[in-house]
Amino acid sequence: MPKWKWGTGKSRAEIQREYRRRKIQGPSGEEYRENERQRQKQNYVPVEQRTKVEQDYRRNQVLQAVKKYRQKKKPNATKQTNSQSTGYE
């Protein structure tokens, strides 16, 4: 089966993320990082300048992201439910 360059099954966001990762590791990485910082500063809108609905939505999104991060960061204590199990069964 041939491997198609455009049929990888990745979302546009995943493709863009990989592209940026390659740019950072490339020979002009520092220049790219500076341009990326400027781009992020330019697009940032403080929460106080948003409407109440947008504020609530954004805060909820951040809350979900933090919960997901903390869950990933936790040790694997949630995997072992039976305290009498030795793990060799």
* Residue, of 23 and 8, whose pLDDT is higher: 23
CA distance 12 to 65: 20
C-alpha atoms less than 13 angstroms from C-alpha of 88 in its C-beta half-sphere? 1
Q: What is the pLDDT of residue 40?
A: 87
Beta-strand (E) ranges in the chain? none
Tell me: pLDDT of 45 over 80: yes
Residues with Cβ within 8 Å of residue 8, at least 6 apart in sequence:
15
Type and span of the H or E element at 62: helix 52-73
44: left (phi over 0), alpha (psi -120 to 50) or beta: beta
The domain segmentation of the chain, as residue ranges, is 10-43, 47-74
Q: Mind listing the pLDDT tens digit for each residue in 64-76?
A: 999 999 999 888 7
**Average pLDDT over the chain, rounded to whole?**
81
Give the pLDDT of residue 7.
Answer: 60
